């Protein structure tokens, strides 16, 4: 029987090195108590943050000191909690850390309203009086930009206090999906018992036996059906929280609020939805190519993840994946390549799935720690690409930390998803040129097409769904599980027109955690579009373009996302990068059709 191992059964070399943050939980507790005691120091500046340049600089330095330590404490607790969501000790640690972060935000909630009492001339005078404040010039600009949407000190403090409560629907969903929800065990065509999990569901949907894929599809979604009311309630309340918070900050819509944070024009979102909708014919062609390759009359939902080759791809061990990814990023420069290789040896990555481990993958870390990557590696091509993706995030953080002060080392998700997808695109290019076998080359081509499908089209479909459910709440319409099913099922039918949309796939919204992230998913789609443009420029122009790209990554949060991408040579206010990316997708569809003698 194939089963998911317990964490203790996995070798240490395949686990991330959290001891590099705190050597023990006792050390974490000491750090927690220390920073908790210092949060009150911030309150001493309330009402006098802008009395003179020196006082403002002292306050900003204090905030950095406290928030850096809060970030370390929170990161350690959340990473530990991800290792095994059943572990109540670490869930408690994570809850304490979240409360600490909420307290810190509440204690500092007066800072921006007091800064917003200044105007640009006042800020410049302060910088003239204390030149060290010039380091915060972009921060001041960002704060003053938000002035129309910042409330009184009392309201800001209340919103900060409520941040933990506002996140409760997401916390509930995470515990339900990762800790409490279990899935059936199914027998594969060889007679082996395989336990379905969040981590292996997609891989099982690539199994060459169609009846087995159908069985996995049906049993997986039937399990979600049993919790539809709970998940529906949590998502409804998450959307309501987004809408209410936007209203509290004087925004017309939750989308406007979410995009104004990173200063991304709403037109970018509209460009994405419109351009992708205008090119659904390419996605429909991809689906029909799958139907032909599988030699079936009707393409079903359990066929969508299946390779165009009609077979499972070759196994790619974690060690092989590391080598491929390191070689692939050579166009980004020797220093970039060497730093990434060192990180892989320094246990940045928590590699394999274990019982209770959070599903999916992510990159995390703080200004004062190494990056940490959570994986659920499945020895396949998809996992290899996911590793490349997350390493893109980690290297982005490394470059930004190396060049920027603390307040600018973080960066907006809009830019982050470019860094991750550049790595994926370079990996594709490398393997298509250097794969040792035609089999691997075919599967890499198929994987790249799947990445386009799932990133540019599927995430745009998610973005459309997210927009519709927020607009429903803003219009006073009820959101029930049936309403979610209807909206999602209609979108699935439109985007995947050549395929049969069954009742079970209409529940797919229930398994997507990103719907709790408040207009997050569209950035995957814009990210792959910008990434294709960046890679094409690097391959055409060489080191000059690579240097521009590295410079863009190193800018971190010291500029707004549109400016950062302009440094890399990409204009995301135009639909051109999206159109060009869709053109690349169409070209690769032609290539695979010729290769496999499909229409």
Q: What residues pair up with 336 in beta bridges, in sequence order?
A: none
Chunked into runs of 10 residues, the chain (599 residues) has average pLDDT values of 83 96 97 96 94 97 97 97 94 95 93 93 96 97 91 81 84 87 92 89 90 96 94 95 94 96 94 96 96 94 88 88 98 97 96 92 96 95 94 98 96 92 94 86 87 93 98 96 96 94 94 93 94 94 97 97 96 93 92 83
Question: At 373, is the secondary structure helix, strand, or coil?
Answer: strand
Report the run of H or E that residue 377 belongs to, with start and end: strand 372-377
Q: What domains, with CATH codes, occur in the chain?
A: 7-166 (1.20.140.70)
Pairing label, strands 193-195, 349-352: unpaired
Burial track 232-253 (b if 16+ CB lie within 10 A, e otherwise): bbbbbbbbbbbbebbebbebeb
Q: Would you state the torsion angle of the CA atoms of residues 212, 214, 220, 222, taken in this order, to the nearest 10 degrees?
A: -130
pTM of the model: 0.83
Q: Distance between CA atoms of 224 and 506, rounded to whole angstroms?
A: 11
What confidence score (pLDDT) does residue 76 get?
97
438-460 residue pLDDT tens:
888 888 888 889 889 999 999 99
List Cβ neighbours of 24 (8 Å cut-off, separation of 6 or more): none
Helices (H) and strands (E) in the chain, counts: 26, 5
Show which residues are catalytic: 390
For tokens 């220093």, what's the residue? 335
Q: Distance between CA atoms of 58 and 331, rounded to whole angstroms?
A: 43
Where do the H-state alpha helices sit in 167-227? 168-175, 201-204, 210-225
Residue 238, Cα to own-chain centre: how many angstroms?
18
Q: What residues pair up with 299 in beta bridges, in sequence order?
A: 499
Strand intervals (E) in 252-371: 349-352, 362-364
Question: At 547, is the secondary structure helix, strand, or coil?
Answer: helix
What confidence score (pLDDT) does residue 439 get?
81
What confidence score (pLDDT) does residue 94 get?
95
What confidence score (pLDDT) does residue 1 get?
42
Q: Distance between CA atoms of 496 and 474, rounded to whole angstroms?
A: 28
Taking Cα atoms as reference points, which of 400, 415, 407, 505 lies closest to residue 461? 505
């Amino acid at each position: 029987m194939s089963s998911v191992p317990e964490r203790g059964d996995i070798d240490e070399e395949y686990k991330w090195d959290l001891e590099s943050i705190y050597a023990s939980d006792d050390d974490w507790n000491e750090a927690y108590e220390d920073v908790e005691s210092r949060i009150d120091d911030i309150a001493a500046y309330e009402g006098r943050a802008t009395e003179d340049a020196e006082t403002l600089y002292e306050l900003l330095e204090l905030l950095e000191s406290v928030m850096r330590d809060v970030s370390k404490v929170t990161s350690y607790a959340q990473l530990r909690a991800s290792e095994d969501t059943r572990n109540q000790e670490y869930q408690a640690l994570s809850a304490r850390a979240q409360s600490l972060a909420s307290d810190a935000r509440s204690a500092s909630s007066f800072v921006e309203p007091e800064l917003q009492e200044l105007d640009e001339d006042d800020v410049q005078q302060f910088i003239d009086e204390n030149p060290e404040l010039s380091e915060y010039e972009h921060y001041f600009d960002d704060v003053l930009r938000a002035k129309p949407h910042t409330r009184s000190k009392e309201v800001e403090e209340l919103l900060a206090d409520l941040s933990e409560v506002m996140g409760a629907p997401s916390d509930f969903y995470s515990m339900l999906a990762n800790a409490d929800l279990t899935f059936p065990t199914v027998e594969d065509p060889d007679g082996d018992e395989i336990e379905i999990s969040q981590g292996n569901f997609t891989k099982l949907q690539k199994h060459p036996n169609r009846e087995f894929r159908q069985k996995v599809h049906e049993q997986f979604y039937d399990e979600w059906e049993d919790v539809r009311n709970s998940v529906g309630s949590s998502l409804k309340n998450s959307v309501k929280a987004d809408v209410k918070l936007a209203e509290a900050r004087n925004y017309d819509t939750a989308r406007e609020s979410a995009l104004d944070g990173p200063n991304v024009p709403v037109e970018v979102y509209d460009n994405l939805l419109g351009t992708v909708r205008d090119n659904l014919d390419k996605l429909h062609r991809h689906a029909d190519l799958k139907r032909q390759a599988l030699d079936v009359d009707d393409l079903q939902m359990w066929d969508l993840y299946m390779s165009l080759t009609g077979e499972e791809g070759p196994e790619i061990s974690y060690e092989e994946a590391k080598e491929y990814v390191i070689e692939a990023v050579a166009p980004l420069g020797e220093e970039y390549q060497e730093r990434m290789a060192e990180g892989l040896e320094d246990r940045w990555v928590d590699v394999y799935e274990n019982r209770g481990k959070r599903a999916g993958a992510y990159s995390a870390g703080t200004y004062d720690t190494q990056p940490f990557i959570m994986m659920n590696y499945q020895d396949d091509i998809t996992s290899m690409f996911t590793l490349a993706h997350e390493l893109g995030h980690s290297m982005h953080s490394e470059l930004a930390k190396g060049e920027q002060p603390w307040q600018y080392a973080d960066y907006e998700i809009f830019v982050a998803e470019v860094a991750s997808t550049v790595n994926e695109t370079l990996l594709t290019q490398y393997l298509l040129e250097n794969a040792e076998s035609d089999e691997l080359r075919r599967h890499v081509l198929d994987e790249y097409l799947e990445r386009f499908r799932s990133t540019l089209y599927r995430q745009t479909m998610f973005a459309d769904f997210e927009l519709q459910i927020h607009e429903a709440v803003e219009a006073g319409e009820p959101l029930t599980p049936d309403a979610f099913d209807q909206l999602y099922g209609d979108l699935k039918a439109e985007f995947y027109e050549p395929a049969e949309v069954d009742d079970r796939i209409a529940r797919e919204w229930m398994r997507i955690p990103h719907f709790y992230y408040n207009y997050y998913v569209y950035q995957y789609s814009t990210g792959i579009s910008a990434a294709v443009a960046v890679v094409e420029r690097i391959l055409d122009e060489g080191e000059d373009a690579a240097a521009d790209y590295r410079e863009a990554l190193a800018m971190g949060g010291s500029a707004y996302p549109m400016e950062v991408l302009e440094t890399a040579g990409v204009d995301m206010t135009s639909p051109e990068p999206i159109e060009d990316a869709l053109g690349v997708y169409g070209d690769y569809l032609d290539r695979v059709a010729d290769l496999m003698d499909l229409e």
